[in-house]
Chains A and B, each alone.
Chain A
């Protein structure tokens, strides 16, 4: 925030307790108004008013702020500037750009995002027309490919009195006048207020993540919501990064909320290096990164979630499918708890405030597939990681989140320890979108999708049951058919469910190859069962080297179905020769 010379009210600091500051003298200040605290104008937000004392949470380190220091309010809720220049950028929790040449994040930084940049504006509306909110005014091209649609902002409507001709414009320069209101390429938006849309459109369209275990077993549709709970070391961040890189949405908002700095730079470097298989552009050009690492001010972490979803809604309004990845919502909940504790609110479960459930619900409910104000269709899919303390899935954030999301991709510590990645557990995960996905898949021509899914889930469940038996009696004591079930489940895990995020062939998997891999395991399983039924000893079948089945996923490119088919045919031929 820049220093405020035009502050509406000036007050004084009374109390400072870490990121919580009590202010007196701000008459008429409203809840969630932004304030500038002290000489350096530290950004804060009013979150409580009690008679003449207003309580602010501060988005920066406020060491040195003393009672008596001035506080100014500009009478505006916490807002961000939405416009061209967001894609490919890295921002903090309140959308101030993080330029790579600034090493240390000292308090009181200025933050006008992309204010100085100019954009080539191509108008496409007609002067004199009656425009509603969300109507198209023109376009700006970002990066190599992205068509950034400039719309009439929400809250503005009327006759288009003037429209700039094609040419260069800065973000804040007026390009149109509608009903007497000047409209620029960018506009301000309060982050805590969901952006309006015409209606939820109820459309069912697949979101392909390129991750086999998700697309085959626990699929998600555009506009849905998912939670990824997992203890540390189970690969939450890696799975979320994989989705950010490979899912087929048009815009990705990656919110690193209270996570590691080294991970953030890892994902930034990867996104800059990798090409989008659909457009050929760098993946970074479709991504907005909001980085609030764990050592950055804790209250900005609380805001970063809302910032992320507001940016997503901005792109949704242009008619795009957007995915918001929040890693991790637990750190956001902890910011809520820290604030509650510092303001002496009565704690509910484990010190979290009683509002935790409604705050989580409000966040996940901003997901959805919508008809926008302008009449096009766009969606926001929300995928939030949860970091349960001690891996305890009954803790408040995990348990509450489960109530509000449509998919849970639960990560299992035992799988992770066995280096089975992604460690998505088949006991704890679910997808309430699976049935609808089955219908869509069938309509798209893949009629076997639902059946293959049930086969895989049944095989995993059966082998899980058998494995607990094996622990007691040893594999040799099982009947041959059950030993084959164990063998096939192992193949299923190794050949299909495991996916190597570091391999250029395997990090992403096209849907036809996904289907081919699962079909291969299915076919081998049935052939093996036939062989034991015909009297071939399971011992002998277990000795068969099936390593090439497990490595088929890495042979050939991400879309290479022929390589998989070749492996399947070779193995079936080998099995056919056994009598």
Chain B
């Protein structure tokens, strides 16, 4: 990736995990890009983590396996790491370092951009207020994704989060302008990687998607680079070329583990659960690379996907992510056991920017009210369900039984959908209405009474036996 190679230093001083220490180097800057050459002639890439006088600590993205201290050589580029950016990435499939794995030539790009990016001036931002329709009822209806938002998916190992991410990548749309996807997979199995490639084939062929895949057997430290690469490419497409870009990053827990591995190798003081104290800032340096700008018509939206170890939402990775992102979509084992796809846990899920992105101009007049009513009713339904466990369904008031019927209907008719099923926003909202009309009309206080009457009447027409 770097053309000019200035001075090469031969011989390392020590190696530890993914780190190499070189001595007798001069003028090497912190965070500089390094090229490491093995005795065999193999080239690897690295970044300077610490410089102290004539010592430089280099983190090797491909790992240090096979490196001997006497045979290794290193050259420093003189600048922090840069990668090519441009529309040439679209339609390509690359590994986690951006090297092609689709048989094509290396991605050249229009120019080089710093992979760490530069912070966006908060005063130059524009508030996100247009939705992205994912075609998934639960997300579009209840936790609407807004252009420029970062909305993570919190999942647990074994749940179909990768499938859901791929489905969103395959079918998400915006009403206007170009829409492009950058999909970064980190630490996924080969089978999952293949399935993801298949699911995204069509979009990739159309030249709307760039795919970066770091598999579980690829070097762990490479994962530190993958999301940065994806975001650098996406920032260019969004803010310089004015496209609407959606970046999916899966699985961020694998990423954080790579960060922890590097931190441990450096002997840093560990914070919670062995993760370094700067994990918040590190994650923020990724998640904050999204949004809208006053000066650009484009937008950058992120869906980071992460698995909560042992389903623990207070684990540092989901916890810190939740503090940075604007809401979360939570997938639950419980819904999965009921054979519902996506296994969307509505009560734990939230989109903080939804209120800006829905309404008569963006989606539909009744959207916010419907979502609010569904949440209120689900919250009550959960209390009723807990009570049922104790007193049995027969011990419930009729009113409360309606809530159980509502929750079941919502799961079956609204949340549950096929893996290639692409639902429009009207379809999704009407499905929510169908469940809501099972509740006593008097309880639908958040909805417009006229809308309620209309939907109750329409449902009675559709299902005369239910009305009778």
A341 within 8 A of B: yes
**Nearest-neighbor residue (CB-CB) of B235 within chain A:** A104
Tell me how far the C-beta of A316 lies from the nearest C-beta in chain B, rounded to whole angstroms: 26
Nearest chain B CB to A519's CB is how many angstroms away? 23
Is B293 an interface residue when CB atoms closer than 8 A count as contact? yes
Which residues in B have their C-beta under 8 angstroms from that of A359?
none
Chain A 321-339 residues near chain B, CB threshold 8 A: 331, 334, 337-338
Residues of the B chain whose Cβ atoms lie less than 8 Å from the Cβ of A14: 52-53
B316 at the interface (CB under 8 A from A): yes
Tell me the smallest distance from the CB of A67 to a CB of chain B, in Å. 5
- Per-position binary interface string of chain B over residues 320-361, scored 1 when its CB falls under 8 Å from any chain A CB and 0 otherwise: 101110111000000000000000000110101101100000
Among A131-139, A262-270, A565-573, the stretch that binds chain B is A262-270
How far is it, in angstroms, between the C-alpha of A104 and the C-alpha of B117 when the chains are bound?
Answer: 9
With A98-B121, A105-B121, A260-B288 known to touch, is A419 a contact of B375 (CB < 8 Å)?
yes
Known contacts A14-B53, A65-B30, A389-B316, A104 near B118 by CB under 8 Å: yes
| A147 CA / B390 CA spacing, docked (Å) | 65
Q: Are B27 and A68 in contact (CB under 8 A)?
A: yes
Which of A64, A265, A347 is B125 in contact with, Cβ under 8 Å?
A265
A63 at the binding interface (Cβ < 8 Å) = yes
Report A85 CB to chain B, min CB distance, Å.
15
Contact of B295 among A103, A391, A547 (CB under 8 A): A103
**How far apart are A46's CB and chain B's nearest CB, in angstroms?**
18
List residues of chain B with CB within 8 A of the CB of A404: none
Q: Which bracket fits the contact residues of A?
A: 35 or more
Contact A258 B116 (CB under 8 A): no
Contact A341 B125, beta carbon cutoff 8 Å: no
Q: Does A16 contact B (CB under 8 A)?
A: yes
Determine the chain A residues whose CB is within 8 A of the CB of B289 once the complex forms.
295
Task: Give the Cβ gap from A344 to chain B, nearest Cβ, in Å.
Answer: 8
Is residue A66 within 8 Å, beta carbon to beta carbon, of the partner chain?
yes
Residue in chain B with minimal CB distance to A16 = B30
Query: Do B123 and A291 have beta carbons less than 8 Å apart?
Result: yes
Contact residues in A for B386 (Cβ distance below 8 Å) = 471
Bound CA–CA A255/B276 (angstroms): 26
Inter-chain contact B277/A269, CB cutoff 8 Å: no
Task: Check A447 for interface membership: any CB of B closer than 8 A.
Answer: no
A233 within 8 A of B: yes
| Cβ–Cβ contact B123 & A98, under 8 A | yes
* Residue B372 CB within 8 A of the other chain: yes
Across the interface, B53 reaches (CB within 8 A) one of A17, A67, A98, A334, namely: A67
Q: How many Å lie between the Cα of A66 and that of B280 in the bound state?
A: 26
Contact status A390-B122, CB under 8 Å: no
| A16–B30 CA distance with the chains assembled, in angstroms | 6
Chain A residue contacts of B356, Cβ below 8 A: 266
The reply to whether the CB of A387 lies closer than 8 angstroms to some CB of chain B is: yes
Contacts of A231 in B (CB 8 A): 322
Residue B395 interfacial (CB < 8 Å): yes
| Complex Cα–Cα for A155 and B377 (A) | 63
Q: Among A293, A347, A390, A474, which residue has its beta carbon within 8 angstroms of that of B288?
A: A293
Cβ–Cβ contact B293 & A347, under 8 A? no
Please judge, given known A-B contacts A103-B120, A472-B390, whether A64 and B51 are in contact too, CB under 8 Å: no
Q: A15-B53, A417-B347 are in contact. Are A104 and B270 (CB under 8 A)?
A: no
**Is there a chain B Cβ closer than 8 Å to A18's Cβ?**
yes
A66 near B323 (CB under 8 angstroms)?
no
CB within 8 Å for A347 and B128 given contacts A67-B53, A545-B442: no
Chain A residue at minimum C-beta to C-beta distance from B124:
A103
Contact B119 A262 (CB under 8 A): no
Q: Does B391 interact with chain A (Cβ within 8 Å)? A: yes
In the bound complex, CA of A160 to CA of B280 (Å):
52
A101 to B442: give the CA distance in the assembly, Å.
Answer: 51
Quick check: A389 and B128 within 8 Å, CB to CB?
no
Pairs A–B under 8 Å by Cβ, sample size 21: A14-B53, A62-B30, A64-B30, A64-B32, A67-B28, A99-B121, A101-B124, A103-B124, A104-B118, A233-B350, A261-B291, A263-B326, A294-B324, A295-B119, A295-B120, A298-B281, A334-B278, A338-B277, A338-B281, A350-B272, A551-B445
Q: A262-B127, A502-B355 are in contact. List 7 more A-B contacts (CB 8 A).
A: A63-B80, A64-B78, A64-B80, A103-B121, A103-B239, A390-B314, A392-B314
